[in-house]
A and B are shown apart, each in its own frame.
Chain A
Amino acid sequence: MNTLTQQFAKNAQSLLVFAIVFTGLITLMTLIKTSQDPRQQASEESIVFTLKSESASTLKQGAEFALIVEKQPSSLQVTAADFTLEFDPNVLEYTKLDRSTKPFSIVLMEHLNQEAGIVRIAVGKNPEISGISDSKIAVIGFKVKNTAGDSKIKLGLNSQVAAVGYQTNVLTSSSVEPYNFTVIGETTTPTTDVQMNFSFAGTPAEGNGQFLQQAAKSQRVAVSLQNIKTGEITTPTKMTASFKQVATSDPKVGIFSLDTAWKNEEIPTGTYNILIKGPLHQQIRFCKNNQTATDRCGLIEGIAITAQEEHQLEFAARPLSCGDLPISGTNRDKQDGIVRVTDYSFMLSCLGKRKDAACVARADCNSDGSVTNLDMDLLLETLSIAYDQ
């Protein structure tokens, strides 16, 4: 028995020794693979410049922009950089080197050959400034000439960078991606601008602006134009309109105005219906300026819109009718384009929970903060005439 036990112990020891040796071998191989001379590693990885700009990559003619030269990795301790940038002289004009770029604020060289489209810049680190790991090397200004098209700025292959502890160039110029951009012509296409005032039925309650909830003073509306001759309708543009004042005449409604005029570059001169739809409202077709609630639109009646001109239209006297509540779709947050008894049914259900957030968001037509009989009256009024339209 003792012999067997001792034999087992010996075997266990052998296995343990084998495991230790095996682990040691694996560790050694891992070390050989990963542990290298730091200088060699640095030399292999070296640094790379990045050319970028905080401006958009689409530039207008005459625009000025700054090209930022950065290094990667930022941890490498660079002391000086001598590099050239090549650009299309027909597209760009070199303007200046930002001499306040820290820590490389000492300019050793700034040589421009505009005709060839080459600028050579050499900068050194200000010894008094720490933060050597900053990634920014230089900021260079350019001005776009009057030549539209795609262009780029690239780093010259003879560029060099000196770093602490290295006697050779640590910059890999060949792998630097050029900075690509597009020059577009000045926007000369004039737009057709349509600004309009309009109102929402029953808003504010009792014609008193104090009953208008603060959040409701900015409303989203969809605006589109229908060409009477061709029948073509522009895609509805979702726009924001803000409360301006309460109308002095009856109905005392809140006048809203588009925050920015409806603009279109392509719409031709013609006669148009203007369609406006509120967030809890039926879409209303306006066929005349200063249209009133009693006006009826004839088939060929419309508003004259002249292309590339500004128009100011007044629609407040025909308030947008309450209806078409946003209760459709999976999330029950979409309008279905029709005023129906389902809208009434929803509002009816809200009368028992007037301040419920889901109800107020969908059925508070007069924006007074609760769903009441006032809203119900507004909806019934719309419903009663909706079937005739």
Chain B
Amino acid sequence: MPLPTAVKIKGIIIILLLLVSGGMWMFSLFPNNKQGSQAQPITLKQISDLPSINDPQASPFATLALLPAQAGSLIPYEVSVGQSAKVNIVLQSSLAGEVIDGVELQIRFDPTALANLRLEPSHAFSSVVHQSVRQEEGIITLALVREPEEVVSSDTNIVLGLISFTPRVAGETTLGFTTAATLVAGNQGQNVLEQTKDLMVQIR
């Protein structure tokens, strides 16, 4: 015997009521459907007054190293008192094909251990902005930039300059970069210098 229509309607209403109640109950238990997942921190980006530079942050890839100029020399670099010695300032790279726009560096040495310091920039960059040797202070500075039409690429080791000196007294000394005053510029004005490698000199 089929159910009367009124009973059917009442049944449907009751089911609907149950569904709505159940839904509300579930909603009250889990108001946030993302509950349980890790809340994401909100990062506020500081707004700049200047238009942004459409350029990602470059990963440093360049190394500046001081290496004995004579091929096959060991490190520490062994030299003799009174005998002229030569060290190359070398730009190395872990990435090939990157354009280097310029280099500025400062090297410190012990003026009581090394004499007659001379710096001879190479032609790797066509423009030498600055070069100086301050013997008494023990400071060598060099700044090189490329001309706009020139291409200086990081494909190979680039010799930036040659330092020559004469050891004064036996012992151990270091030719080292001042990191705060040393950088390699590329990628729209960024410092792409990754590390510097100083040179230990043993004077016999």
In the complex, chain B residues 3-21 whose Cβ is within 8 Å of any chain A Cβ: 3-4, 7, 10-11, 13-14, 17
Is there contact, CB below 8 Å, between A344 and B145?
Answer: yes
The residue from B50, B132, B185 contacting A344, defined by CB atoms under 8 A apart: B185
Contact pattern, A 315-355, Cβ under 8 Å of B = 1, otherwise 0: 00000000001110011110000001111111111010000
Q: What's the minimum C-beta distance from B20 to chain A, rounded to whole angstroms?
A: 10
Q: How many residue pairs at the A-B interface have CB separations less than 8 Å?
A: 115
Is there contact, CB below 8 Å, between B1 and A345?
Answer: no
Is there contact, CB below 8 Å, between B145 and A341?
Answer: yes
A-side contacts of B127, CB under 8 Å: 380
CA distance A341 to B10 in the complex (A): 84
CA distance A362 to B189 in the complex (A): 11
Is there contact, CB below 8 Å, between B143 and A383?
Answer: yes
CB nearest to B189 among chain A residues: A346
CB nearest to B3 among chain A residues: A5
CA distance A92 to B189 in the complex (A): 62
B-side contacts of A140, CB under 8 Å: none
Given A16-B14, A340-B183, is A345 in contact with B141 using a C-beta cutoff of 8 Å?
no
Is there contact, CB below 8 Å, between B7 and A9?
Answer: yes
A-side contacts of B130, CB under 8 Å: 383-384, 386-388
Contact pattern, B 103-131, Cβ under 8 Å of A = 1, otherwise 0: 11000000000000000000000010110
Q: Is B186 an interface residue (CB 8 A)?
A: yes
Is there contact, CB below 8 Å, between B11 and A12?
Answer: yes
Is there contact, CB below 8 Å, between B50 and A340?
Answer: no
Given A330-B46, A387-B141, is A351 in contact with B190 using a C-beta cutoff of 8 Å?
no
Contact pattern, B 142-153, Cβ under 8 Å of A = 1, otherwise 0: 011110100000
Given A16-B10, A344-B102, A380-B129, is A358 in contact with B50 using a C-beta cutoff of 8 Å?
yes
In the complex, chain B residues 74-116 whose Cβ is within 8 Å of any chain A Cβ: 101-104
Per the CB 8 Å criterion, the residue count for chain B at the interface is 39
Q: What's the minimum C-beta distance from A355 to chain B, rounded to whole angstroms?
A: 12
The residue from A326, A348, A362 contacting B148, defined by CB atoms under 8 A apart: A348
Q: Is B48 an interface residue (CB 8 A)?
A: yes
In the complex, chain B residues 148-202 whose Cβ is within 8 Å of any chain A Cβ: 148, 183, 185-191
CB nearest to A23 among chain B residues: B17
CB nearest to B146 among chain A residues: A348
Is there contact, CB below 8 Å, between B143 and A387?
Answer: yes
Interface-side segment among B22-30, B32-40, B51-59, B61-69: B51-59
CB nearest to B4 among chain A residues: A9
Is there contact, CB below 8 Å, between B50 and A331?
Answer: yes
CB nearest to A10 among chain B residues: B7
B-side contacts of A344, CB under 8 Å: 101-102, 129, 145, 185
CA distance A173 to B106 in the complex (A): 76
Q: Is B49 an interface residue (CB 8 A)?
A: yes
CB nearest to B2 among chain A residues: A5
Is there contact, CB below 8 Å, between B3 and A331?
Answer: no
Is there contact, CB below 8 Å, between A351 and B11?
Answer: no
CA distance A388 to B17 in the complex (A): 86
The residue from A19, A327, A373 contacting B189, defined by CB atoms under 8 A apart: A327
Contact pattern, A 120-132, Cβ under 8 Å of B = 1, otherwise 0: 0000000000000
Is there contact, CB below 8 Å, between B188 and A345?
Answer: yes
Is there contact, CB below 8 Å, between B129 and A383?
Answer: yes
Is there contact, CB below 8 Å, between B129 and A341?
Answer: yes
Q: Is A15 an interface residue (CB 8 A)?
A: yes
In the complex, chain A residues 134-159 whose Cβ is within 8 Å of any chain B Cβ: none
B-side contacts of A384, CB under 8 Å: 129-130
B-side contacts of A21, CB under 8 Å: none
The residue from A332, A343, A347, A386 contacting B53, defined by CB atoms under 8 A apart: A332
Those 8 A-B pairs whose CB atoms lie nearest each other, nearest first: A346-B189, A341-B102, A345-B101, A345-B185, A331-B48, A357-B51, A9-B7, A349-B188
- Give 30 A-B contacts (CB < 8 Å), ordered by A residue: A12-B14, A13-B10, A19-B14, A19-B17, A325-B189, A332-B52, A332-B53, A340-B183, A341-B103, A341-B104, A341-B145, A341-B183, A341-B185, A342-B183, A342-B189, A345-B102, A345-B186, A345-B187, A345-B190, A347-B189, A348-B146, A349-B187, A361-B51, A380-B127, A380-B129, A383-B129, A383-B130, A384-B129, A386-B130, A388-B130
